Amino acid sequence: MSRHSHKNPGSPGVQLGLIITPMLDMSFQILAFFIMTYNPSALEGHIPGSLVPPADVAKKSKDNNNSPAPVDPLSIPEDQLNPELDSAVTVKVRAVVKGQESEGHPVGSVRQMLVQTSLDTSAEIVSEAHHDFKDALKLLDERLKKMTTSKTNLKIAPDGDLRQEYVMVLYDACKNAGYSKVHFVPPPVLNTKLNKK
Amino acid sequence: MSASVDSEGLDVNLTPLLDLVLQLIMFFMITINFVRVDQFDNSINLPLASTAVALDKSADDWIFLNLDGQGRLVGTLSTFVLDTPQKLKVHLMREKESLERAARAQGKTGEQKIVIILRADKQCKYAEVFTVLHSCQLAGFKHWQLRVMTKSKGAG
């Protein structure tokens, strides 16, 4: 289709003397393609981690001269792990299991939180089942900020039944309390299974 | 859109329309994001974390694992029967070998940094996440990332 080009003194726009219909068609096709394939990049971030190979765990263990190389790194008792982590604060989290659920505490949510300052000390209860999760987080934050140990390493040891969303909230809370290295401890259920193998 | 009427009929001024269309095309071209199908599985509701860091692109290759609320591997892996950690381990070992072979064919030498990207649903259990990670560990992977939705510290 050709377009007439003529001067119109009353028209404010620029008069194009080109055949722009094919260009317009193509432009609309490209536009349609982009609209259909448009996928706004998700606001995803990541939490990095490393999987220590079995041989390296053996090198790092306390008794590496005496004990044989472990077959399964996750089955190593906690006290034989990297000595750097021995002094790390441990946040133990008990989950609500079936039969314990109540209003505001669904299955897989946080039932109880305990903090253990080192392997030699016993764990202290920070929050109980009657606490709202937000209150429990506040209590945990206060407890972690009061710690006198060097704020570097912290271990989160949740129950295997705890939902991932709560694990991430706890990770956030620990990071925000000033611990730069937050580690995840394998859940007790998995550890037991692995030890039996 | 302005139009002028004279003895020959209606003449539409297409310049603003063209401007707009070309601007829209430019916008979409800049923001287009070609992703692998397994990277964004919409059925996975990722948990929120404000302390998550930006995506690390230093790896040579990635393997994406999507774990749904019931702890099942979904996405491209759903076509395989990977119902036990052992089967998953074997599958991952094959994947690793395949990626390393491809890298060698491209002339890359040395150890390849292959990162496991675990996109675990917020409803799945911690034990299920760790079972998958354990399989990755046994398959010989050294790096993993847990994908989360980022949120600003002030939000929510």
Does the pLDDT of residue A62 top 80, yes or no? no
**Would B39 be classed as within a structural domain?**
no
CATH number of the domain residue A165 falls in: 3.30.420
Q: Is A95 exposed, middle or buried (0-12, 13-18, 19+ CB in 10 A)?
A: buried
| Residue to test with chain B: of A16, A18, A28, A46, most B Cβ within 10 A | A46
Q: Which helix (H) or strand (E) holds B67?
A: strand B61-67
Q: How far apart are CA A162 and CA A109, in angstroms?
A: 6
Cα separation values, B50 from A31, A136, A152, A154, A156, Å: 35, 18, 19, 18, 17
Cα separation values, A150 from A89, A97, A139, A159, B50, Å: 9, 34, 20, 26, 23
Same domain for A137 and A182, yes or no, is yes
Q: Which helix (H) or strand (E) holds A133?
A: helix A133-146
Q: How far apart are CA A164 and CA A47, in angstroms?
A: 13
Q: Which residues of B touch A158 (CB under 8 A)?
A: 126
Same domain for B103 and B28, yes or no, is no
Nearest CA in chain A to B130: A186
| Helix orientation angle between B85-105 and B126-138, rounded to the nearest 10 degrees | 50
**Would B40 be classed as within a structural domain?**
no
Q: Is A5 exposed, middle or buried (0-12, 13-18, 19+ CB in 10 A)?
A: exposed
Question: DSSP secondary-structure letter at A172?
Answer: H
Cα separation values, A135 from A145, A186, B49, Å: 15, 26, 18
**Would A1 be classed as within a structural domain?**
no
Domain that holds residue A64: 51-77
**How many domains is chain A built from?**
2
Mean pLDDT of successive 10-residue stretches along chain B, which has 156 residues: 56 83 87 66 85 80 88 75 78 88 86 87 91 88 87 50
Does the pLDDT of residue A91 top 80, yes or no? yes
Same domain for A152 and A128, yes or no, is yes
The interface pTM score, or ipTM, of the predicted complex is 0.73
Domain that holds residue B16: 1-32
- Relative to beta strand B114-120, strand B73-74 is unpaired
Which residues, listed in sequence order, are joined to residue A44 by a DSSP beta bridge? Answer: B149
Same domain for A171 and A102, yes or no, is yes
**Would A35 be classed as within a structural domain?**
no
Same domain for B95 and B135, yes or no, is yes
Task: Please list, in sequence order, all residues whose beta carbon lies within 8 angstroms of the beta carbon of residue A26, skipping any fewer than 6 positions away.
Answer: none
Closest by CA to A164, choosing from B67, B83, B144, B82, is B67
pLDDT in tens, A136-162: 889 988 888 887 666 678 889 999 999
pTM tops 0.80: no
**Would B155 be classed as within a structural domain?**
no
Report, as an integer, the average pLDDT of A94-122.
84
How far does B108 lie from chain A, in Å, by closest CA?
23
Q: Which residues of B touch A14 (CB under 8 A)?
A: 13, 15
CB contact (8 A) between residue A48 and residue B143:
yes
pLDDT in tens, A18-53: 777 888 888 889 888 888 887 666 677 888 887 765
User: Among A8, A27, A40, whose Cβ lies nearest the Cβ of B11?
Assistant: A8
Counting residues of chain A whose pLDDT is more than 90, the rounded percentage is 7
Does the pLDDT of residue A9 top 80, yes or no? no
Q: What is the pLDDT of residue B154?
A: 46
Same domain for A97 and A134, yes or no, is yes
Q: What is the pLDDT of residue A167?
A: 92
